[in-house]
Amino acid sequence: MNIQENLNYIKSRVPKHITLVAVSKTKPVTDLMEAYHAGQRIFGENKIQEMAEKYEIMPKDIEWHMIGHVQSNKVKYMASFVSLIHGVDNFKLLEEINKQAKKHDRVINCLLQIKIALEDSKFGMTFVEASEVLKSEAFLQLKNIQVVGVMGMATFTENENQIKKEFTLLKTFFDSLKSYESINFKPETISMGMSSDYVLAISCGSTMIRVGSSIFGERNYN
Ligand SMILES: *Cc1c(COP(=O)(O)O)cnc(C)c1O
């Protein structure tokens, strides 16, 4: 199977209103261009430097999504072009994104990463922390960011019931946030689902899936 066939297969399983982020981390630009020529315009990366390098050399109608953990001191390297940051998990980071976005006279869209998995290792805010941020006065002052929804990663397990439970929790939380809608919080997007669980995620209410290995093949980290 080549990249174009993989993309077509995924699209055949996914309703049209679902946004597909092609997760291209570690993959060479030639692979990304193959997806681009097959019509893909949204790519997700988890390292800011790698994303910035690919952005420089690739066509400018691509939307770049940062899906990895973000270090505050590196926000400046993507602030001019990133279109959505999925992994925002604290208020200080929102402040830094706001500051860098302002320098470029932009509004940067963000998702709050919510911890839904059992493992301690997964990043993310608790439901309580996220709601506290969204209803705070300080948040409303951040004019150069827009929180457009939430992102979550399920526990790495074969147990479908566990995964389903976590996705459902995130969807329920997302629905409960609608009452906090404000000038810079527009709840539209639930980013959940990867290669192994995107069909399940969509059935649980996902609006945006992040698919890597099912498009580009297994990653080689060496
Ligand atoms: C790598 C990654 C993905 C894609 O994973 P696949 O299993 O290859 O589809 C999705 N989301 C995040 C946050 C990732 O880091």
Closest ligand 1 atom, residue 211 Cα: 9
Q: For residue 119, is pLDDT > 90?
A: no
Q: In the prediction, which pLDDT does 122 show?
A: 65
pLDDT tens readout for residues 136-160: 999 999 999 999 999 999 999 999 9
Ligand 1 centroid to residue 212 C-alpha, Å: 6
- Global pTM? 0.96
Domain architecture of the chain: domains with CATH: 3-216 (3.20.20.10)
Instruction: Name, in order, each residue with C-beta under 8 angstroms of 164's C-beta and a sequence gap of 6 or more.
Output: 200, 204
Reported as half-sphere exposure (CB side, CA atoms, 13 A), residue 150 has a value of: 28
Mean pLDDT of 175-202: 96
Is any ligand 1 atom within 6 A of the Cβ of residue 210? yes
CA distance 104 to 190: 27
Smallest CA separation from ligand 1 atom 11, residue: 210
| Strand pairing category for 145-152 and 108-114 | parallel
Smallest CA separation from ligand 1 atom 12, residue: 67
pLDDT tens readout for residues 44-76: 999 999 999 999 999 999 999 999 999 999 999
Ligand 1: which of 50, 67, 163, 220 to mutate, most ligand atoms within 8 Å of CB?
67
Q: In the prediction, which pLDDT does 148 show?
A: 98
Task: Give me the percent of the chain exceeding a pLDDT of 70.
Answer: 98
Ligand 1 centroid to residue 170 C-alpha, Å: 18
Q: In the prediction, which pLDDT does 220 show?
A: 81
φ/ψ of 153, rounded to 5, equals -125, 130
Task: Give me the percent of the chain exceeding a pLDDT of 90.
Answer: 94
